[in-house]
Structure 1
Amino acid sequence: MSVPTRQASPAAPPPASVLPAVPVEPSPDPEAHLGLRFPEGFGWGAATSAYQIEGAAREDGRGPSVWDTFAYTPGRVANGDTGDTAADHYRRYAEDLDLIRDLGLRSYRFSISWPRVQPDGRGAINQRGLDFYRRLVDGLLERGISPMATLFHWDTPQALQDDAGWANRDTAYRFADYATAVFEALGESVPVWLTINEPKTVVQNGYITGHHAPGIRDEPTAYLVGHHLALAHGLGVQALRATGSASRIGGALNLHPCYAADDSPATSDAVRLYDGYENRFYLDPMFKGHYPEDVLADQGPGSPLVRGIRDGDLEIIKQPIDILAVQYYTPIYVTTDGGTVQKWPTTQAAWQQVYPPGMYDILTRVTRDYAPPSITVTENGLPCADEVGVDGSVDDAGRISFLRDHLAEAHRAIADGAPLESYHVWSLMDNFEWEVGYDQRWGLIYVDYPTQRRILKRSAAWYRRVISDNSL
């Protein structure tokens, strides 16, 4: 996870109309059993990302990332927070692995820090960085937990950003070199690899709104960045295949169903284009080998995107994948003028509307339109105003209601043919939540940042029972 402000921006649509945020209230009995049993062997998991939990930003040869630079720029992150320490996972990983084991998790999705492994994004490999991930993977396997590793979760090495970052086509090839080094170091001990996490968030938040690193506001360039991220995905898949590894590989996309805000025929046209930018721009090249025609037409023949697509690129991007990672947080309701409106209560994250049926809709939609061989949900969750009670517990009943209702919709999708093999809560623990710093808590585990003490929330105990029973 997690992930912040997700706003699609086809041709810079009018801003969303915003209603007051309504707290997510738990149902009368959020832990009531629904009698929904999941398939045998279902992969119950949780997820994190390197910059959000590791800390140790200047230790053991790690180079600076764009998020180090962004967080140290005044006014970029709430309270001037940084990921320098975060949840101190780099030092406390063994303790955290024990917590993962004790929760009964069968799968743990984490990310590898590119600048920790390759400080300048090119050239020499930092063996101390690789050794950390070797220890992490070995520790998971020793505890009977299946590792799922993401190669890129937004922490572009600053040295590459100094050379235009993802706006520079060469970065995709540097990513392939980095991926090869990681594949060769960890091998088949990682059974599932994910290439690029949420390219859409990099495009929209990093290069359109500027809310994320590298903090650029250049919409035409943003979609060229999207193409280079897609190219990096394809090159990463090729790199794994070249090693002869039997590990599986895919991409991780945050997908949000787009609905019409009213019944106007003109609104349907607006929804179609919005969906093109929000979902099909990332799915179509990966599965079909082309970009959506409506998006290309909207961008125009002289756009950086169209001019940046070279012969052979789409064949590289459309590498056969073994698994699609889907991340679902919110629906989007589109108006006739291409703007958006709020239809459902939001969480502490103002961009997140709570609509569990969207989980069913997006899982069945990708199954129907793209036929991935397998699907994993790698992020789904919400921030809550978690506090430690006088008895030392954290009662996040609203999170339990949210997760239960979304899991029920995932179960319904499986029953209707979606090849969903695993589900990962965002997030395992509270962490650095990008531009809002430490103001939002998304974890199953409460982190007391001054002491780094971990406290299992009520949701963690509930999730442990779900895993043990393999049912809701």
Structure 2
Amino acid sequence: MFSIHRQDFGTDFTFGVATAAFQIEGGQRDGRGPSIWDSFSRTPGNVHNGDTGAEACNHYELWPQDLDLIRDGGFDAYRFSFAWPRLIPGGTGAVNQAGLDFYDRLIDGMLERGIKPYATLYHWDLPSPLQDKGGWMNRDIANWFADYAVLIAQKFGDRLEATATINEPWCVAFLSHFLGIHAPGYRDLRAAARAMHHVLFAHGTAIDALRANGAKNLGIVLNLEKSEPASDSEEDKQAANVGDAIFNRWYLGGVLKGEYPTELTGPLAAYLPDGYEEDMAVVSRPLDWLGINYYTRGLYKSAPDQPVFPIAQVKGDLEKTDIGWEIYPQGLTDLLVRVSRDYTKLPLYVTENGMAEVEGDSDPRRAKYYEDHLKAVLSAREQGADVRGYFAWSLLDNYEWAEGYNKRFGLVHVDYQTQQRTPKSSYRAFQGMLHNSR
């Protein structure tokens, strides 16, 4: 059980759980089109054990029991994502009625259970036909994404508590187009630079489209790290500054201030889209809230031999999760305070936070992780950060992208052979804190 209480957060604080469509839905039928993760995962060497999301947690059929788990855990809200290829199989054009029907059932099921729907338009499953046209490297994606946003607003907007455009644009752009670790798997500087801008430009066009069609309570979800130097040397401090620019300030500055860090615009000048500066007013459209996903810190050292970005990440000496990420609750406090002090007075939500752990239905380390990070949120609030909610990642063990089914983040254990759900002790800790004081 947690030593903290729901009342410590005030009466209006939102507690929720988060998932993503490709990671849990399965159901690759009923008119759903192909996504970049379907082909990426089926390409040998890209994903642990060659795992795919074809079945995942079969949330497509088992969603009623998953929503029951959210309700019975005492959670207020469910952060889920729409699957673009399930709704518009070609990315543009014809709409799949079966996809509309599925999300109608899912959203209505939340409302029937008293769960607030927090939706994300894009959590990495780009329709493959759009990748054929260049995907996030093509400026036209801003129009494709805006049209998709119109559909969401018109069909579901009146039932959504909040809507985010993009989940983790650093992953969409840099991780997937420069490091090549996620779909579409590019390792190309020009591809990365264009994706880094277009993903934020598309965010802005989607905000315009959503607002024009009556959608309310709009935001974006950024993944942030606490970027720190590996030593006290000036070289390592500068390396941490560049790492911070790549991971944090490109997206914070672009979305909230309409400016990119000069540490990056210089090295990327030859690769960024011509005239990108003219898009910055769209990139920085006013928002109603900001989501922050936090897992760990980045520890940097100078690496002069590296091209473009003369930095390297090193492993720290803190306790680590099963995926190798350091456990660093102080980093969450520091980031929340920094964002509220230096970037925006918007309400902040911790939209993802959690850890991979090897366990069955007993996960005491995860329960401690959550408690320590909830305390970090309280500390940030005491220092003036306007944090309004916290979403645990994740409700279920699921398809963990390039890690396949090898890493488990869930509050609820999933037997992938039988699809049996078994709440873990971390779920019971939340339930004990939340259920009796909703």
Tell whether the structures are fold-level matches, with TM greater than 0.5.
yes
Match of 1:427 among 362, 372, 394: 394
Aligned residues: 429
Report the AA paired with residue 324 of structure 1: L
Q: Is the 8 A contact 1:38 1:470 kept in 2?
A: no
- Structure 2: segments with no counterpart, 5+ residues: 304-310
In the TM superposition, residue 34 of structure 1 has moved relative to its aligned partner by 4.4
**What residue is the counterpart of 2:136 in the other structure?**
166
Give distance in 2, aligned partners of 1:169 and 1:81: 32
In the TM superposition, residue 130 of structure 1 has moved relative to its aligned partner by 1.3
The TM-score with structure 2 as length reference comes to: 0.95
The DSSP-based 3-state class of the residue aligned with 2:391 is strand
**What residue is the counterpart of 2:354 in the other structure?**
381
Is it true that 1:48 corresponds to 2:48 in the alignment?
A: no
The TM-score with structure 1 as length reference comes to: 0.88
Q: Is the 8 A contact 2:121 2:163 kept in 1?
A: yes
Give distance in 1, aligned partners of 2:2 and 2:130: 50
Rate the CA distance shift 1:341–1:126 in 2: closer, same or farther, 3 A.
Answer: same
Q: Is the 8 A contact 1:427 1:442 kept in 2?
A: yes
Give distance in 2, aligned partners of 1:272 and 1:446: 39
Give distance in 2, aligned partners of 1:85 and 1:313: 40
After superposition, residues 26-425 of structure 1 pair within 5 angstroms as: 31=1, 33-34=3-4, 37-57=8-28, 59-245=29-215, 247-299=216-268, 301-302=269-270, 304-305=271-272, 307-310=273-276, 312-337=278-303, 338-343=311-316, 344-350=318-324, 352-387=325-360, 394-425=361-392
The DSSP-based 3-state class of the residue aligned with 1:279 is helix
Q: Is the 8 A contact 2:121 2:166 kept in 1?
A: yes
Flag the structure with more relative contact order, 1 or 2, with Cα contacts below 8 A and sequence separation at least 6.
Answer: 1
Report the AA paired with residue 431 of structure 1: N
Give distance in 2, aligned partners of 1:309 and 1:46: 40
Rate the CA distance shift 1:356–1:123 in 2: closer, same or farther, 3 A.
Answer: same
Report the AA paired with residue 427 of structure 1: S
Q: Is the 8 A contact 1:323 1:372 kept in 2?
A: no
Q: Is the 8 A contact 2:2 2:430 kept in 1?
A: no
The DSSP-based 3-state class of the residue aligned with 1:255 is strand
Q: Is the 8 A contact 1:264 1:336 kept in 2?
A: no
**What residue is the counterpart of 1:459 in the other structure?**
426
Give distance in 1, aligned partners of 2:189 and 2:120: 26
The DSSP-based 3-state class of the residue aligned with 1:291 is coil
Considering only aligned residues, what root-mean-square deviation do their CA atoms show, in Å? 1.5
User: CA deviation digits over 1:134-161, x for unaligned, max 9?
Assistant: 1111110111110000000000000011
Report the AA paired with residue 169 of structure 1: R
Rate the CA distance shift 1:200–1:452 in 2: closer, same or farther, 3 A.
Answer: same
Give distance in 1, aligned partners of 2:219 and 2:437: 25
Report the AA paired with residue 55 of structure 1: G
- Structure 1: segments with no counterpart, 5+ residues: 1-30, 388-393
User: CA deviation digits over 1:400-457, x for unaligned, max 9?
Assistant: 0111111100111011111111100000001001111111110001111111111011
Q: Is the deviation greater in 101-110 or in 124-133?
A: 124-133
Give distance in 2, aligned partners of 1:418 and 1:367: 5
